[in-house]
Amino acid sequence: MSLLPTDKIVITGGAGFLGSFVNEKLEELGFKNRFNPRRADFDLTVEADVARLYAEQKPAIVLHLAAEVGGIGANRDNPGRFFYANMAMGMHLIEHARRNGVKKFVQTGTICAYPKFTPVPFREDELWNGYPEETNAPYGVAKKALLVMCQAYRQQYGMNAIYLLPVNLFGPRDNFHPHSSHVIPALVRKFVEARKNNADHITAWGTGKASREFLYVKDCAAGLVQAMLKYDSPEPLNLGSGREITIKDLTELVAELAGFKGSVEWDATKPDGQPRRCLDVTRAEQSMGWHSTTSLEDGLKETIEFFEAHADAPPERVY
C-alpha cells in the first residue's frame, strides 16, 4: 500500500528533540497533514487516550517516537516507570493501529536493547544474544518487546510495522537538564558553564574508557523518514554513523570545542554503562541507500552554538 503526501501522519513525540526535526523533514517532502499529540491532551500510557487519538485523527501513518528515557542516573532512579511507560505506550499504539487499519507503523527502538557484551560493531542479528546492560535494561527490554509485537502483528494481521534502532542522538534542541540529559548535552552544559564561571576543573562520570557512537539528529530524522517511505522489512534496522569514540576522547573534544581550559576529574564510583557501542549500518545502506552525512565535530559545534545561544532558557529544553 503506497504512502501519499496527503496521508494523515501522527507523530508521537513530534514536539520533542528528534520529532521536531522529523516534522521539518516531512514538511520539506510535502507531507503537510500531520498531528503531534501532546501529553496534556493524550496520555499514551492510557489505552482510552490512545483509542481517542486514533478516533479523532484517523491516521494513515504513525511514527512512534515518544519515550520516557534519560541518562544512566535517570535510568537507575526510574527503572519501573521506564519499563511501564515505554511498554504501555507502544503496546496501545500498535494494537490500535491494527484496529484502525493504518498503512504504516514506525516504531523507534533503542540500542539499549542490545546485549551488554555485543560484538562491535552491533549487527541487528545480535539483538537476542544476551541480556542488556543492567542500568538501562528495563527500558531496553520494554522497547525490544515492541519489536516482537511488530513482527507478530505483521505475521498474524499483515500489518506493515517496522522497527528502527537509532544510536545515541545529539544536536540542537537536545535535553540539557543536568540530571536527565545524555552524555553529549550533559558535557556541553558542564563545559560551557565551567568556562563562563572560570572553573579550573569539571567532574565526569565513570572512567572514560567506555565507547559510544553518536548520530546527528538531523541525519537520524532523514533516515527515519526514508525508512517510512522505503523500508518494509520485519527485521530491525540500525541507524547510526558507524564511528566509535571513547567517552574520554569525546569529553576532551567537547572541552576543546567549548573553549574550556581546565582539567577533567573522573569519578570512577559512577558507572560507565555498556562497555562499547558502535553499530553496523550496512543494512540501512543496502536496503534504502541511507547513511549519515554530518561529522561528529561539525555536529558538536552546532550543538554548542545552540546551547550558548539559549543558555538562559529552562534547563529541560532550551527551545
Catalytic residues: 139
Kind of pairing between the strands at 211-216 and 244-246: antiparallel
DSSP characters over the chain: ----TTS-EEEETTTSHHHHHHHHHHHHTT---EE---TTT--TTSHHHHHHHHHHH--SEEEE-------HHHHHH-HHHHHHHHHHHHHHHHHHHHHTT-SEEEEE--GGGSBTTPPSSBPGGGTTSSPBPGGGHHHHHHHHHHHHHHHHHHHHH---EEEEEE-EEESTT----TTT--HHHHHHHHHHHHHHTT-SEEEEES-S--EEEEEEHHHHHHHHHHHHHH---SS-EEE----EEEHHHHHHHHHHHHT--SEEEEETTS---SS---B--HHHHHHH-------HHHHHHHHHHHHHHTTTS-SS---
CA angle 231–236–239, rounded 5-degree value: 75
Alpha carbons 182 and 138: distance in angstroms, whole number = 17
CB 19 within 8 Å of CB 13: yes
CB-side exposure of 211: number of CA atoms within 13 Å?
16
